[in-house]
Amino acid sequence: MQQREEKQLEASVDSLISRVSHVKNALHSFIYKLENEYERLTWPSVLDNFALLSGQLNTINKLLRNEKTPSFRTQVIIPLLLSPDRDEDLAKLTEQRVPVFSHEIVPDYLRTKPDPEVEEQEKQLSAEAGRIGPEVAQKQIQTLNKLCSNLLEKLNNPRDDRDADTAGRQNKPSFNPADTNALVGAVAFGKGLSKCRPPGPVAPGHPGQGPMMSGGPTLQQVTIGGTSGQQAGMGGPVAPQQQGQPGKMPSSIKTNIKSASSSMHPYNR
Amino acid sequence: MEAPPVTVMPVTGGTINMMEYLLQGSVLDQALESLLHRLRGLCDNMEPETFTDHELVYLLKGQQGNPFILRARRSLSHPTAPWHLRYLGQPEVGDKSRHALVRNCVDVAASHTLPEFLNEMGFRLDHEFVATGHIFRKGALKVVVSKLSRILVPGNTENTERLSLSYLVELSVLASAGQDNVSEDMRSFAEQLKPLVHLEKIDPSKQRH
């Protein structure tokens, strides 16, 4: 009878070890991928790795819950010998992770209860929970439930708000075609901008404008409002011809600019 | 249009021969925040840039025909920055297959003596305005949202009056001639700003009167 139990225990420990080594291998290859192939690692393949791990952990959980598996909880492990010296066999067995079986590491590896700090925190929390009266607790639960259901409702019915928002926006025009035309006309021709400049002296004190205006007192201010605005402003001998050819500019103007610029340019080539 | 046809312009070769592709629209003041918010989301992640510029438009009346126009711009927020001189060619709007207005464009940085220089060349100031607004970029696309103000006392940029209750919205790309595929990108970008702003190719000559 006892022998059979022992055999069963041994078999289940063996199967547990093999399952755990599967998890270990999967973790190992995943870590390797993360460290060495992170450049071409795709998110789907990362998810695949997680799925593999989670499946393997699930099988371990199932194995432990299986009726045929003897309860490991009832088994007791007693450290018989502690030694501060390096144990090569142990190091080999644990892949160099645990080289010594000493009093320092045994409490960590054979622990069956949470860490003392964690235990302390847990105690504090339960003490705090115990202090709150049942009525207060009920109230807090209700408030939390209310908040959660409100949030859920908002998340489930976002369309109402969104529709109201867009409807409100559509009802209000955001642009005015007449304004568009006025602005385009202004940047193109100065339409609507004051263009009637007195040919006389300009308000003093503004640098750059004074000499510009005083330089050409005989030239009338030119407007560019189409043919109606085109005046024979140039007092020279050439002005009268301009009405005849709207839209086309003979190349003489080009030469005019060129000659003007070359005569002006101090660095003549 | 007053500027001479692109073909007679002596701008050839290299990086000078650039075309500006342009779409224009406007947004009402009260919808400005929504537009800026959307642009911040759509455009390159960068520090929000604002500007205040003073633009002076100069004319050179030739012996014949239409006057020649140059636009000089200076930053009021950065007075030490160079001036910006710009020539814009005749806009081409007729081509239906192209989704944006196209015009020849030459940009030059200039020193602060630009007004005197233009004046000596025979150019005369026609009109001026102040533009205040925001710049956004998305790759080669540039979006400028600006408020235009007229200047009440000539030359005094402190004393201004806003032109309308809307902001001008301009989407533009500078590309060398013939790269019409950029207008496709512009159109798809403009689609994403609807219905807040409708960016269209607007023939400026129709707005003249």
- Whether B8 is in a domain gets the answer no
> Residue B46 — pLDDT band, cuts 50, 70, 90?
confident
pLDDT at position A161 is 65
Measured CA to CA, the distance from residue A23 to residue A29 in angstroms comes to 10
| A250 touching B (Cβ < 8 Å) | yes
- Whether A258 is in a domain gets the answer no
- Whether B130 is in a domain gets the answer yes
pLDDT at position B208 is 65
Measured CA to CA, the distance from residue B180 to residue A114 in angstroms comes to 71
Q: Within this chain, do residues A59 and A90 fall inside the same structural domain, yes or no?
A: no
- Whether B1 is in a domain gets the answer no
> Residue A218 — pLDDT band, cuts 50, 70, 90?
very low
Of B31, B34, B204, the CB nearest to A188: B204
Q: Within this chain, do residues A83 and A49 fall inside the same structural domain, yes or no?
A: no
pLDDT tens profile A31-62: 998 998 888 888 888 888 999 999 999 999 99
Ranges of beta strands (E only) in B91-199 are 101-110, 124-138, 141-151, 160-162, 166-176
Q: Within this chain, do residues A84 and A29 fall inside the same structural domain, yes or no?
A: no
For residue A211, the chain B residues in CB contact (below 8 A) are 116, 119
ipTM topping 0.85: no
- pLDDT above 50 for B135: yes
- Whether B115 is in a domain gets the answer yes
Measured CA to CA, the distance from residue A224 to residue B200 in angstroms comes to 24
Q: Within this chain, do residues A61 and A131 fall inside the same structural domain, yes or no?
A: no
> Residue A72 — pLDDT band, cuts 50, 70, 90?
confident
Share of chain B above pLDDT 90, in %: 39
- Whether A11 is in a domain gets the answer yes
Q: How far is CA B6 from the centre of its chain?
A: 18
Cβ distance B170 to B200 under 8 Å?
A: no
- Whether A149 is in a domain gets the answer yes
Q: Within this chain, do residues A87 and A104 fall inside the same structural domain, yes or no?
A: yes
Q: Within this chain, do residues A16 and A50 fall inside the same structural domain, yes or no?
A: yes
Asked if the peptide bond before residue B195 counts as cis, ω within 30 degrees of 0, the response is yes
- Work out whether strand B141-151 and strand B160-162 pair parallel, antiparallel, or are unpaired: antiparallel
- Whether B150 is in a domain gets the answer yes
Measured CA to CA, the distance from residue B71 to residue B180 in angstroms comes to 25
For residue A257, give every residue at least 6 positions away whose Cβ sits within 8 Å of its Cβ, in sequence order, or none: B60, B68, B121
Read off φ and ψ for residue A171, nearest 5 degrees: -70, -25
pLDDT at position A41 is 83
Find the CATH number of the domain harbouring A46. 1.20.58.1710
Q: Report how many domains make up chain A.
A: 3
Q: Report how many domains make up chain B.
A: 1
| A196 touching B (Cβ < 8 Å) | no
Domain extent, residue A129, equals 124-161
Over the range A106-121, which residues count as b (16 or more CB within 10 Å of their CB) and which as e?
A: eeeeeeeeeeeeeeee
- pLDDT above 60 for A26: yes
Average pLDDT, chain B: 85
Find the CATH number of the domain harbouring B62. 2.40.320.10
Q: Within this chain, do residues A69 and A9 fall inside the same structural domain, yes or no?
A: yes
For residue A250, the chain B residues in CB contact (below 8 A) are 64-65
For residue B195, give every residue at least 6 positions away whose Cβ sits within 8 Å of its Cβ, in sequence order, or none: A170, A174
Q: Within this chain, do residues A8 and A69 fall inside the same structural domain, yes or no?
A: yes
Q: What is the mean pLDDT of residues A92-108?
A: 84
pLDDT at position A162 is 66
pLDDT at position A240 is 42
H or E stretch at A2: helix A2-36
Q: Within this chain, do residues A106 and A138 fall inside the same structural domain, yes or no?
A: no
pLDDT at position A250 is 47
Q: What is the mean pLDDT of residues A112-140?
A: 88
For residue B62, the chain A residues in CB contact (below 8 A) are 238, 242, 249, 252-253, 256
Of A190, A209, A248, the CB nearest to B155: A209
The region that residue B130 occupies, defined by phi over 0 for left and psi between -120 and 50 for alpha, beta otherwise, is beta
Cβ distance B27 to B197 under 8 Å?
A: yes
Q: What is the mean pLDDT of residues B6-27?
A: 70
pLDDT at position A8 is 85
Q: Using CA atoms in the order A104, A109, A112, A115, what is the torsion angle rounded to 10 degrees?
A: 60
Of A202, A224, A261, the CB nearest to B154: A202
- pLDDT above 70 for A23: yes
pLDDT at position B65 is 74
Q: Within this chain, do residues A3 and A54 fall inside the same structural domain, yes or no?
A: yes
Average pLDDT, chain A: 73
Share of chain A above pLDDT 70, in %: 66
Domain extent, residue B34, equals 17-203
Q: Within this chain, do residues A81 and A69 fall inside the same structural domain, yes or no?
A: no
- Whether B61 is in a domain gets the answer yes
pLDDT at position B16 is 62
Q: Do B163 and A245 touch (CB under 8 A)?
A: no
Q: Pick from A169, A170, A183, A238 the residue to mutate for testing the B interface (most B CBs within 10 Å).
A: A183
pLDDT at position B28 is 92
> Residue B89 — pLDDT band, cuts 50, 70, 90?
confident
pLDDT tens profile B190-209: 998 888 899 988 887 776 65
